[in-house]
Chain A
Amino acid sequence: MLGRIASFFKDDHRYVFLGTSAFALVGLWLAMQPRTPSSFLAQSYALEVVLYYLLVAWLVLSAVALVNKLIKWRDYGTSSPFVRESLRRMVRIASYVMWAIVCVFIVDRLGMGLVDLVRTSTQASSNPTDFLSSTVYMLSKSSSIFATGIITTIELATFGTIIAFFLALLMVFLRIQEIDRSDNDFIRFLKTVGSGFAKLYSTVIRGTPMMIQGMIIYFAGFGVLRGTGMSVSEIGAIWSTFVAGLVTISLNSTAYMMEVLRGGIEAVDSGQTEAARSLGLSQWQAMMKVVFPQGVKNAVPALSNELVINIKDSSVLSVIGVFDLMFATTTVAGIYFKQSEIYVVAAVCYLILTMTATWLLNKLSRRLTGAAPRTLPSSN
């Protein structure tokens, strides 16, 4: 990327006239927009005029070059003044000047315009009517609500995924138990029950919406505690909506992560188990020492997806009143009765969170699995 930009400035290229002209048109359009109060070009009107006409001059030059090329279509490469080495370099340097001018206009009109927008809308006494100002106004007034929501969402997704990962490690052990010849009746019974339970758990959790799971867990927990004679405020202290939400997201994610882990474990070559068993290791030992580490490594990329999914899916927990980003958004929308603005803000927040999570997880999983195996020369 950087190399391409550097080459664009250093090397001769084909887009000097066309690309710069298109950009210069953008600059001209910006120059014709009204100046905002904090525009710095407003102080030096003469400079702005000079810049404006430099852009116009560039467009004229481009037009001349185009006409020249159209007229001398056949022998443009040999006879046109524009292909001469010295002129070409001059034109290229001039095109950089044009880019700089347009950038000045962008900062002046768009950049300073945004600064003005933020300044006026944050100081406004009532909610402005236009989309951007209103969004900035509401964001500035309710920034603490959003901050709480975003932090809660991050906590729910991160802790939920980590707890689910360890639960899934336990559950997948139950899930993949197979009866071995040397097992006694008690072990056989335990393995059958364990594997059956894990299968049932996975089917039920993956077959019902997390929103309903959250409802059931929250209200069932509430009901049980109420049954012990606690008051509502006492219950709120230990069985808050956040705790209920965290339990829900952990239990839900466990089922999915268990299946991902099972896929990773089943992808390990059966020869690995056979080799371990042939040395006398029990099925459990072969699983623990050989198959499981390889299976988890296989599953790391798919497991890390689960965090991204949880960031998004935690939004349904707002129905039980978990103060996550979704709940914060609904709250703010209710205060100002402006929906579209505030939900766009929520979408952008979720997007930033998931993109950041993806980026971090990619780095992590590359460190865990990506280290290329050391290659060694053949011995003899």
Chain B
Amino acid sequence: MEELQQTVSQQDQLRETTQQTQAGETTQQTQAGETTQQTQAGETTQQTQANTPDAQPSHDNQAAEPLIRIENLRKSFGDLEVLKDINFEVMPGEVVSIIGASGSGKSTLLRCINLLEVPDSGHVWFHGSDLAGERTNVNELRESIGMVFQSFNLFNNKNVLDNCTLAPVTLKKCSKAEAEERGRRHLTAVGLADFIDAPATSLSGGQKQRVAIARALCMEPEIMLFDEPTSALDPEIVGEVLNVMRDLAAEGMTMVVVTHEMEFARSVSDRVVFMDAGVIAEQGSPEDIFGNPREPRTREFLARYLGE
């Protein structure tokens, strides 16, 4: 709780400084700050968009091409059919939360998007390429798809900054100096500027997850996948990671978030997808899903989660 308060007060500080230097390049951050503030105040996402039209550039435009299009995706582990003919799209700038009970196939769907899990059949279209295609260069496409794991998976043999610079430097995305500059920028944004030289193994869970987010951002991805990013964290630490994700959403990042944090799904997402037994049972705006679910199994699931 104390850590959470400190995070909030740090953000306040950030906001103050940005206001002082508003003329400069930090306008984006101010917007992010405002968005966070308003979302926290309990207003709906729709209103937030109306207030800051620039923050989420293109997803209002329904005619735009989807960034990710999943067609007829199937995946089985042995006899267990985990994904049954999934069709699913993510528009640029959209924040999609995937909710559902354990074992409903949420994580597998997410892992199929960047092909960490190879689907049995179906297509994952991204920039005109089918990631699930037999001979697609998956490595190149993955560079634009950031992923954050439940168990952080920081590189244990590296320090915090090297975790961030490893991929950009290895893949020759930029020079070492530029990668380090990027790393510092993203680490500062997640509030870990003081830990740049610390070994990855020395951090707490919440810190590790924030480094993991910064690491993914250093590749400058077009979409971020979050696989239950707060499930391995202590309840009092969850907030610091969710705040970082809120800021990211407010900056207009396209995000697909598998989560059990219903409050986060309700306040940050543009669309909520409810999965049950390997199919998308229901999807819609957070107001619809949380306020007025059509499917009985959605109601049942939400009652279990929110009733407590």
A residues adjacent to B (C-beta < 8 A): 181-182, 184, 269, 271-272, 274-282, 285, 289-290, 293-294, 297, 373-376, 378-380
Contacts and interface: CB of A to CB of B under 8 A. Distances in A.
Interface string B106-150: 000000001110100000000000000011111111110111010
B207 interface: yes
Interface of B: 3, 6-7, 10, 114-116, 118, 134-143, 145-147, 149, 151, 153-158, 166-167, 170-171, 191-192, 194-195, 198-199, 201-204, 207, 212, 215-216, 219, 240
B191 A275 contact: no
Nearest to A378: B204
Nearest to A297: B157
A318 B158 CA distance: 46
Contacts of B138: 181-182
B147 A373 contact: no
A278 B145 contact: yes
Nearest to A185: B135
24 contacts: A181-B135, A181-B136, A271-B153, A274-B116, A274-B153, A275-B212, A276-B155, A278-B114, A278-B146, A278-B147, A279-B147, A279-B171, A279-B216, A279-B219, A280-B139, A280-B219, A289-B155, A289-B166, A376-B203, A379-B3, A379-B191, A379-B192, A379-B195, A380-B3
Contacts of B216: 278-279
B170 A281 contact: yes
B167 A276 contact: yes
A269 B151 CA distance: 11
A373 B203 CA distance: 10
Contacts, number: 105
Contact of B134 (A181, A271, A282, A375): A181
Contacts of A294: 156-157
Contact of B143 (A275, A279, A293, A379): A279
Given A181-B118, A290-B155, A380-B10, A279 B167 contact: yes
A275 B116 CA distance: 10
Contacts of B154: 275
B167 A293 contact: no
Given A271-B151, A276-B167, A376-B203, A182 B156 contact: no
Contact of B139 (A271, A281, A373, A374): A281
Contacts of A293: 157
Contact of B155 (A275, A282, A374, A378): A275
Contacts of B201: 373
Contact of A380 (B134, B215, B240): B240
A375 B142 contact: no
B167 A281 contact: yes
Contacts of A272: 153, 155-156
Contacts of A276: 155, 166-167
B37 to A, nearest CB: 18
Nearest to B3: A380
B155 A271 contact: no
Contacts of B204: 378-379
Nearest to A282: B139
Given A181-B134, A278-B114, A380 B6 contact: yes
Contact of A269 (B3, B114, B135, B153): B153
Given A282-B139, A376-B198, A380-B3, 6 more contacts: A184-B135, A275-B154, A278-B116, A279-B216, A378-B3, A379-B204
A276 B142 CA distance: 10
Nearest to A273: B153
A294 B156 CA distance: 8
A373 B199 contact: yes
Interface centre among B10, B157, B195 (most CB of A within 10 A): B157
B115 to A, nearest CB: 7
Contacts of A297: 157
A181 B118 CA distance: 9
Given A374-B199, A379-B194, A380-B10, A279 B155 contact: no
Nearest to B6: A380
A379 B151 CA distance: 20
A369 to B, nearest CB: 11
A120 B134 CA distance: 84
Contacts of A376: 195, 198, 202-203
Contacts of A380: 3, 6-7, 10, 191, 240
Given A380-B6, A380-B240, A278 B142 contact: yes
Nearest to B116: A274
Contacts of B156: 272, 294
A210 B158 CA distance: 40
Contacts of A289: 155, 166, 170
Nearest to B115: A181
A184 B136 CA distance: 10
A187 to B, nearest CB: 12
Contacts of B143: 279-280
A234 B158 CA distance: 53
B170 A275 contact: no
Contacts of A278: 114, 116, 142, 145-147, 149, 216
A282 B143 CA distance: 11
Contact of A280 (B155, B167, B199): B167
Contacts of A274: 116, 149, 153
A182 B156 CA distance: 27
A327 B6 CA distance: 73
Nearest to B198: A376
A334 to B, nearest CB: 54
B155 A281 contact: no
Contacts of B140: 280
A378 to B, nearest CB: 5
Contacts of B207: 378-379
Contacts of A271: 149, 151, 153
Nearest to B138: A182
A13 to B, nearest CB: 45
